[in-house]
A and B are shown apart, each in its own frame.
Chain A
Amino acid sequence: MKRLAKWRLISLFSILALVLSGCGEPYLSTLKPAGEVADTQYDLMKLSTLIMVGVIVIVAIIFVLILVRFKRRDDRIPKQVEGSHKLEIIWTAVPILLLLILAVPTVAATFKLADVSPMDKKNSKALVINVRSHLYWWDFEYPGQKIVTSQDLVVPTNEKVYFNLKSTDVKHSFWIPAVGGKLDTNTENVNKFWLEFDDKRSNEAGNVFYGKCAELCGPSHALMDFKVKAISRDKFDAWVTAMQNVKEPQKAQSAVAAQGQELFNQSCIGCHAVTPSNKMPETARLAPNLSDFGNRTRVAGVLDHNKDELKNWIRNPETYKPGNMMTGKYPEMSEEQLDALADYLMGLKVQ
């Protein structure tokens, strides 16, 4: 059994090393919580882990004692013990107690995280965002502000943000690991919850959090990422005003871009809106709103945000996101046309 003991020691150390070294990336990890919801959940995780480690330690002690003490050494027949009521009571009662210690905060937290009463109040000042999930992109509508954006969610820090979640095609799930979550977007009902983004910790994470789709939704489920820009309330208000001011599609800046705009108006505008105003019904919003595309962090959620990748995307979306809904819906573009489109799209910035 020496081998076993040694192996256990090594694994113990490697586990420790892991725990110390890795809590994951601040913009992505649930172990680096950056808001009230994630904090609550992290506290529950810590509490439950503590209890579980306790249980494991007890079992491990008994287990090791057995390993060292009761190995067969001779041919004797041990005493046939039937059981022990005293022990049985102990190992029924103690787990029940431990579970109660976990159950109470669990129930409390479950109700706390589900409390969305402020969003239903009349004249409430609470910021509400309607999230609509699509294969494989995210649509974000700010009903109070009457603006729509896609892929990059913009939120103010240090206040509760309320979400209405629904899907337009198949079920997805809305998750921002570092800030809390998750909640499914169903096809038949609206789910509601809230999140809070802590200002200080948002800064530490670079003000951009990664969001994920957490429900299998088809081939590109893995690529249905979105980003969350958490900025101060002032900056947020400025952004909202800027967005609201874009009443007409922005004019292209250069000749090439103007050519791109023309192309865009021929082939793309049927699906992609370039004004953030909330005029279209949500079922008519077939593709990401591109009004603020120049400020995106990624192209289509996964590609680096630069002209080359943008051109690659328009050239053949299928290679980057299998099964996406854009493939084959527009005429093939020449290199020049791609350049023009890219110029135009990259220039679409509201601020």
Chain B
Amino acid sequence: MSTYAQKKGFGATLWDFLTTVDHKKIAILYLIAGGFFFLVGGLEAVFIRIQLAVPNNDFVSAGLFNEIITMHGTTMIFLAAMPLVFAFMNAVMPLQIGARDVAFPFVNALGFWLFFFGGIFLNLSWFLGGAPDAGWTSYASLALHSKGHGVDFYVLGLQISGIGTLIGGINFLVTIINMRAPGMTYMRMPLFTWTTFVTSALILFAFPPLTVGLVLMMFDRLFGANFFDATMGGNTIIWEHLFWIFGHPEVYILILPAFGIFSEIFPIFSRKRLFGYSSMVFATVLIGFLGFMVWAHHMFTTGLGPVANAIFAVATMAIGVPTGIKIFNWLLTMWGGSVKFTTPMHWAMAFIPSFLAGGVTGVMLASAAADYQYHDTYFVVAHFHYVIVGGVVFAVFAGTHLYWPKMFGTMLNEVLGKITFWLFFIGFHLTFFIQHFLGLWGMPRRVFTYLPGQGFDTANMVSSIGAAFMGLGVIVMLYNIIITSVKNVKVGNDPWGDGRTLEWAIPSPPPFYNFKQLPLVRGLDAYWLEKMDGKKGMTPAEPLGDIHMPNSSFLPFMMALGLFIAAFGAMYHVNDKAWALPVLIIGLLVTFGSMFLRSVRDDHGFHIHKEDLIDEDDKGVKA
């Protein structure tokens, strides 16, 4: 089995990616698809800012604007940010715990394809009669009122991609529990692995309420049910609760992996172990736990009554404490360290004040009585872009630069990286800082335009200019990716020189079986410990032997494709299209048929034989 190193044609490479179950290739798929959707969502953001740059603008119409903001929010959260963090989880986490693969390689691939087809389905709405237009929160009364199929695309698309995320989460959980290398105890796991773990647990418990909410919405819109129809006894508040029981943990699903990435960067570039490791772990778990108790802070103005509002206000504020623990631990990690300002470190440093600003406005929002003023204004828009862009997007950029060599074997250009950083950083603050004031001055969010003479004009213009800077930054980064890929200068296993965790102990990119021999982990920052002892690599924990690997499979693609097809049938059956029912059935047959095939066909995988491993020219593959 040494064919994997051969050069392949385009068709073969494509087939390889369509059928792969290798976590590193799936990571690349997530990175490409998530990156693509980030560009789409970013383009939508730019359209929003153009429309709002001046009062009474008619760059886009009112209805189209609502479609754009809905798709911007939905795309960014579900199709850009989450897949991008999934990319790093897939690329790095198994390496960090010294595993040869994830627990369920097949399910991993299935998760990706479900997400991908869900995202494509959602975005096809642009070409098939209009995108969803009820906001990314899709509150029930408006969503039921919305004409056309936009909201149906939302419901079905998110359902499909949501299932993908859910099984991805289960996969990571089992991987971390069962697949750790010898000596890798829980309290020796790198923090990114820990945040992956907690995030996956959040996914496991947060996505089912969303699934139920989407199912109910689908029944109401497509099959005549009355869950949210007040005239039939229904209740729209049910949707609000289900959405936010999911929605609030969702924001921690996004931010925790970001915290994880930064927790890797600070020690690497400060050459110092993470300060307060165990309290960092504790804080991560606590944030995850508290994340389920606070969802109603998005519903302070719904009219839940003062008792509920007061309880949820106080619970929300409590989350500031573990988050603060993290902030100070990061600062103290750098304190006394030897800090090198590489591109990833730029993003990490900028993250601290940016996220801090977003976090403290979050605590301001948590003050229920005051939130009656902030809610649904640009103050909230400013808050969540500060935490999401200043936290998650910064982390994605940081992670891209940090792990690019590990994923592709070549470095991104540092100068261009810093240019991207400064453009994006300046643009980011220019865009969103002023929005706090817009909100306080009385500008509601989700308005397609505003009248002159309300004092909103200048601030909106400033905000739009900022967005242009961000756009430039992104373009520089794309350029960076292209030129460095063309040059393709190969790097060794530890290109930053200060890698601490296991992933830096193996070649970049790693061989498809990751570790020729599983490494023996002797403590936190396993690779760093070995380096400090003067060793080149890890001590193996097992003799060289056959390695068991899973087979590639086309079935994940087919299963997801089936649901994608079925969704069209489900959606158009309300229009009494004759073909709708057959399409629905065919789609489901494809999915269930593939599942059936999967379950009746034994798949024991294959073995790489010891001899082949020895044959490998020994380029540091040792452990």
Direct contact, A vs B (beta carbon within 8 Å): yes
Which A residues lie at the B interface, using CB under 8 A? Answer: 7, 11, 15, 18, 22-25, 28-31, 38, 40-41, 44-45, 48-49, 52, 55-56, 59-60, 62-63, 65-67, 70-74, 76-84, 87-88, 91-92, 95-96, 99, 102-103, 106-107, 109-114, 167, 169-171, 173, 175, 177-178, 180-184, 186-189, 191, 210, 212-222, 225, 302, 322-323
Known: A92-B321, A302-B451. A30 touches B442 (CB 8 A): yes
- B373 and A96 contacting across the interface, CB-CB below 8 Å: no
- A48 and B324 contacting across the interface, CB-CB below 8 Å: no
On chain B, the residues within 8 Å of A218 by CB distance are: 66, 142, 145-146
On chain A, the residues within 8 Å of B66 by CB distance are: 216, 218-219, 221
List residues 60-89 of chain B with CB under 8 A from any CB of chain A: 61-63, 66
| Distance (whole angstroms) from the CB of A335 to the closest CB of chain B | 25
Known: A48-B363, A180-B372. A78 touches B306 (CB 8 A): no
Q: Is B104 an interface residue (CB 8 A)?
A: no
- A323 and B338 contacting across the interface, CB-CB below 8 Å: no
- Distance A180 CA – B369 CA, assembled complex (angstroms): 10
| Distance (whole angstroms) from the CB of A283 to the closest CB of chain B | 10
| Distance (whole angstroms) from the CB of B141 to the closest CB of chain A | 4
| Distance (whole angstroms) from the CB of B581 to the closest CB of chain A | 31
List residues 450-485 of chain B with CB under 8 A from any CB of chain A: 450-451, 454-455
On chain B, the residues within 8 Å of A323 by CB distance are: 62-63
Q: Is B59 an interface residue (CB 8 A)?
A: no
- B135 and A216 contacting across the interface, CB-CB below 8 Å: yes
- A11 and B356 contacting across the interface, CB-CB below 8 Å: no
Q: List 13 A-B contacts (CB under 8 A).
A: A23-B441, A66-B331, A72-B338, A83-B279, A87-B328, A88-B276, A107-B313, A111-B306, A113-B369, A173-B301, A180-B372, A184-B302, A220-B62
Q: Is B370 an interface residue (CB 8 A)?
A: yes
- A91 and B338 contacting across the interface, CB-CB below 8 Å: no
On chain B, the residues within 8 Å of A11 by CB distance are: 429
Binary A-proximity of B133-144 (CB < 8 A = 1, otherwise 0): 111000101100
Known: A55-B356, A72-B340. A187 touches B376 (CB 8 A): no
| Distance (whole angstroms) from the CB of A282 to the closest CB of chain B | 14
Q: Is B540 an interface residue (CB 8 A)?
A: no
Q: Is B520 an interface residue (CB 8 A)?
A: no
- B141 and A171 contacting across the interface, CB-CB below 8 Å: yes
A81-B273, A110-B313, A218-B145 known; 13 new pairs, CB 8 Å cut-off, are A24-B440, A41-B369, A55-B360, A70-B336, A81-B336, A83-B277, A106-B369, A175-B376, A188-B230, A214-B301, A216-B446, A322-B62, A323-B63
- Quick one: which of B139, B276, B321 contacts A171, CB cutoff 8 A? B139
- A66 and B334 contacting across the interface, CB-CB below 8 Å: yes
- A63 and B276 contacting across the interface, CB-CB below 8 Å: no
- Distance A24 CA – B442 CA, assembled complex (angstroms): 8
- B444 and A175 contacting across the interface, CB-CB below 8 Å: yes
- A170 and B444 contacting across the interface, CB-CB below 8 Å: no
- Distance A36 CA – B178 CA, assembled complex (angstroms): 59
On chain A, the residues within 8 Å of B364 by CB distance are: 45, 48-49, 52
- Quick one: which of B279, B309, B352, B442 contacts A110, CB cutoff 8 A? B309
Which B residues lie at the A interface, using CB under 8 A? Answer: 61-63, 66, 133-135, 139, 141-142, 145-146, 230, 234-237, 270-273, 275-279, 301-303, 305-306, 309-310, 313-314, 317-318, 320-321, 324-325, 327-329, 331-332, 334-341, 349, 352-353, 356-357, 360-361, 363-364, 366-370, 372-373, 375-377, 426, 429, 433-434, 437, 440-442, 444, 446-451, 454-455, 532
List the A residue with the shortest CB-CB distance to B134: A216
- Distance A107 CA – B368 CA, assembled complex (angstroms): 8
Known: A99-B363, A183-B303. A56 touches B357 (CB 8 A): yes
On chain A, the residues within 8 Å of B377 by CB distance are: 214
- Distance A82 CA – B277 CA, assembled complex (angstroms): 7
- A59 and B62 contacting across the interface, CB-CB below 8 Å: no
| Distance (whole angstroms) from the CB of B132 to the closest CB of chain A | 12
Known: A25-B455, A83-B279, A221-B446. A215 touches B139 (CB 8 A): yes
- A48 and B372 contacting across the interface, CB-CB below 8 Å: no
On chain B, the residues within 8 Å of A183 by CB distance are: 301, 303, 372
On chain A, the residues within 8 Å of B317 by CB distance are: 99, 102-103
On chain A, the residues within 8 Å of B63 by CB distance are: 219, 322-323
- B142 and A214 contacting across the interface, CB-CB below 8 Å: no
- Distance A213 CA – B245 CA, assembled complex (angstroms): 25
Known: A70-B334, A186-B237, A217-B142. A24 touches B455 (CB 8 A): yes
- A45 and B370 contacting across the interface, CB-CB below 8 Å: yes
| Distance (whole angstroms) from the CB of B481 to the closest CB of chain A | 25
- Distance A323 CA – B272 CA, assembled complex (angstroms): 60
- B334 and A186 contacting across the interface, CB-CB below 8 Å: no
On chain B, the residues within 8 Å of A102 by CB distance are: 317, 363, 367
- Quick one: which of A41, A187, A219 contacts B236, CB cutoff 8 A? A187
- Distance A63 CA – B235 CA, assembled complex (angstroms): 49
Known: A187-B141, A214-B444. A182 touches B376 (CB 8 A): yes
On chain B, the residues within 8 Å of A28 by CB distance are: 441-442, 454-455
- Distance A218 CA – B446 CA, assembled complex (angstroms): 10
